[in-house]
Amino acid sequence: MNLDLSPTPPAAPLRPKKLVAHGHTRIDPFHGLCKVKSAEVLDYLKAENAYAEAALAPVKPLQDALYAEMLARIQEADLSVPVKYGEWMYYSRTVQGAQYAVHVRKRITPTGWEASPEEILLDENVEATGKAFYEVGDYEISPSGRFLAWTEDTRGQRSYRLRVRDLQRGRDLKLAHKGVVSLSWAEDEGLHPEDPRPTLFFVTEDAQTKRASQLWRQGPEEVQPTRLFEERDERFNLFVARTRSRGLLILTSTSHTTSESRILPADQPRGRWRIVVKRRAGVEYEIDHHSDKLYIRTNDVGPNFRLIEAPLADWQPANWVERLPQRADVVLEGVDLYRDWLIASERKGGVPQLAITHLPSSETHHIAFSDPAYVVDMEDLPEWDAPILRYTYESLTTPPSIYDYDPLTRQATLLKRQPVLGNFDPAHYASERIEARATDGTAIPVSLVYRKDLARNGQAPLWLDGYGAYGIVNDPWFSATRLSLLDRGWVFAIAHVRGGGDLGQAWHEAGKLEDKRNSFTDYIACAQTLIQQGFTTQGRILANGGSAGGLLIGAVLNLAPDLFGAAILEVPFVDVLTTMLDPSLPLTVGEYEEWGNPASKAAYKRMLSYSPYDNLAARNYPPMLVEAGLHDNQVMIWEPAKYVAKLRTLKTDSNPLLFLTSMAAGHGGASGRYDALHERARQIAFALAVLQPAEPSESTAP
């Protein structure tokens, strides 16, 4: 152990409160930490930061070395792959030493576009000047290319302000709105000579609950935006977008289990929005458009979704034609439509695949990939008649790569692979996908990566990542920073536990509500399987998860603390019951479909049984690093703060418990790329310090 634990940990202000529900009483000893704006609480957070920094001081040289090592792998000055839209090629670039991207374009001429002068559309570094945090949310160019609408967050709260820029005149318009969640231009640009702006639709969130609930229209002839629609069901959020065909605007209202869509011709912004299919509990669907047809991806007859084609003139169910059926072994995750092509993003056995259909002939083929586990996603090309498709591909051993794919010749051309500088060679690393056996016999996939020269003697330290909620897939992604672990003899693994979407909607259903405990026991089974197969041993596993993944790790540490040698919890959702009992908090009501409504006694007792904060006990816990953001409005800062404060009073070991709060960020951590790299270096330095790994391999260390 290389940490300095001689300083005395800070004591949180003790402000107990009696909490009573369903005849059951809880005493929350640190309820006062909910007053996050008070000087007392802010002083406590600063004291925790000072204590953590003092404890980490002995490994600060290691952290700095890791930062330099990871930075040396990054091509700091870089360009994205250009994308054609209208008369321009759009791309972004990064500049050495600058935290943020610069968004630019070049005009296409008869001789090409490369020699055209570059036009800067948005320099995030300029906009971020004087701000501790800066993040761009939505970014939309108008159909003619004259106007740019974007949203920005300057506090880390994921609450975005709308801005609009006239690119022709090089000035910002006096059009701003707070709390904008999504936006889309209509197709009426230039129809009003006195004001050339097209109509802009945007969705805003409720200031308190942060729920996307109102649709607005800002027309060129409107002095102020007009509110068109409000979603009053607190479980639902709104999202507005335009189809790639540019024929329709779509307003989607969705909860965790149910959805409803409205459509509007994109060239008739003052027209009437029409519901496609009225919401029905448990039925989700998505809409796309092609010429005189609607395409509907829906789970109305099964959890793995099917694809329906319906006439735009009359899309009633009696006129539906099934293009892709519900399949028991294949999940239809999404559909992309172009003029001549339909691309189905599918998942079979937890592994993604792309099915390409030529619409004029209805002929279908699949793109084959070789890695045992990987991530593949269609790129959102804006050109409707694009003859070439584009996808991104990465795996645990392959950096993110962008391919152009000719569906006629079935040839893929690599356009760009994320540069990893130094002597990185993917041939030095091995990737596997194995299965653990859950307590009920279910096979749980585990993706893992390690150096091929790893001594498989059961002594390697292992980083076990987990999430398992909301049906979100925890994909086997590539990380250049992870190489600093692998080259020091670590194994990195992802536990694809139930509750996520790794094997489809049924996988999600099997790890939520009354089945939530499956997520925790699955994760433990994955850890045990990795031990049994000789990758590591008890006490050499670092458990890691963020947000709902932090709930997973917090619950697992209460169930099997001796199994793990360390844990890193990032913005962890650990005070589940208290949060879910407060419908005034952001996200709470919408989350009832994931966790349950504790107004029900059965749901209350179920959440009480696993809530990490409520189940902390007088036992040994492994070394822990807990990270949080002061401006987080998804997991309030008081959740991890209370968790750490209570754990300090209960744990019976002398292991380090460090709590670090970013005072300028929220749920996603630091916004600048260099700041984020410093945070990652700190995590890895902590991991190396507490699990005493081997030195990096001489053959591959930078």
Q: What is the pLDDT of residues 154-186, one digit of tens each?
A: 988 888 999 999 999 999 998 878 999 999 999
* End-to-end Cα distance, the chain: 25
Q: Is the pLDDT score of 700 beyond 70?
A: no
pLDDT in tens, 218-271: 998 888 999 999 999 999 999 999 999 999 999 999 999 999 999 999 999 999
Q: At what angle do helices 673-691 and 60-71 cross, to 10 degrees?
A: 130
Of the residues 401, 547, 611, 671, only one is catalytic, namely 547
Q: Are 158 and 666 contacting, i.e. CB atoms less than 8 angstroms apart?
A: yes
- The neighbouring-strand residues paired with 311 are 293
At 694 the pLDDT is: 45
Q: Which has more pLDDT, 631 or 282? A: 282
Q: How many residues does the chain have?
A: 702
Check if 632 is active-site. yes
Q: Which has more pLDDT, 132 or 108? A: 108
The order of strands in the sheet holding 389-395 is: 374-378, 389-395, 401-406, 411-417
Interacting residues of 295 by C-beta distance below 8 A, sequence separation 6+: 287, 288, 289, 307, 308, 309, 310, 323, 335, 337, 342
DSSP class of residue 562? Answer: G
Q: Are 577 and 606 contacting, i.e. CB atoms less than 8 angstroms apart?
A: no
Measured distance CA(21)–CA(25) in Å, rounded: 7
Q: Are 172 and 144 contacting, i.e. CB atoms less than 8 angstroms apart?
A: no
Of the residues 153, 487, 502, 632, only one is catalytic, namely 632
Q: Are 468 and 474 contacting, i.e. CB atoms less than 8 angstroms apart?
A: yes
DSSP class of residue 669? Answer: B
What is the maximum alpha-carbon separation in the chain? 77
Q: Are 261 and 251 contacting, i.e. CB atoms less than 8 angstroms apart?
A: yes
Tell me the mean pLDDT in the region 556-566. Answer: 98
Cβ neighbours, 10 Å, residue 31: 19
Check if 428 is active-site. no
Domain annotation for the chain: domains and CATH numbers: 1-74+557-693 (3.40.50.1820), 90-334 (2.130.10.120), 335-418 (no CATH), 429-537 (3.40.50.1820)
Cβ neighbours, 10 Å, residue 467: 28
Q: What SS3 state is found at 631?
A: coil
At 7 the pLDDT is: 87
Q: Is the pLDDT score of 195 beyond 80?
A: no
Matching residue, tokens 């320099």? 123
CA distances (Å), 187 to each of 139, 142, 248, 469, in order? 17, 9, 9, 38
Q: Count of alpha carbons within 13 Å of 262, Cβ hemisphere only?
A: 15
Q: Are 260 and 231 contacting, i.e. CB atoms less than 8 angstroms apart?
A: no
Q: Which has more pLDDT, 346 or 197? A: 346
Burial environment of residue 168 by CB neighbours within 10 A (0 to 12, 13 to 18, 19 or more)? exposed
Residue 64 phi, psi dihedral angles, 5° rounding: -65, -40
CA distances (Å), 95 to each of 43, 116, 401, in order? 37, 20, 21
Lowest model confidence (mean pLDDT) among 558-567, 655-664, 670-679: 670-679
Q: Is the pLDDT score of 208 beyond 70?
A: yes
Burial environment of residue 640 by CB neighbours within 10 A (0 to 12, 13 to 18, 19 or more)? buried
Check if 365 is active-site. no
Of the candidates 389, 391, 301, 383, the one whose C-alpha atom is nearest the C-alpha of residue 353 is 391
Torsion, Cα 138 273 210 600, to 10 degrees, reads: -140
- The neighbouring-strand residues paired with 513 are none
Of the candidates 692, 266, 653, the one whose C-alpha atom is nearest the C-alpha of residue 460 is 692
Q: Count of alpha carbons within 13 Å of 288, Cβ hemisphere only?
A: 20
Interacting residues of 191 by C-beta distance below 8 A, sequence separation 6+: none
pLDDT in tens, 13-44: 999 999 999 999 999 999 999 998 899 999 99
Containing 51, the helix (H) or strand (E) segment is helix 39-56
Q: Are 467 and 545 contacting, i.e. CB atoms less than 8 angstroms apart?
A: yes
Q: Count of alpha carbons within 13 Å of 595, Cβ hemisphere only?
A: 27
Q: Is the pLDDT score of 701 beyond 60?
A: no
Could you tell me the pLDDT band of residue 1, with boundaries at 50, 70 and 90?
Answer: low
Measured distance CA(34)–CA(575) in Å, rounded: 11
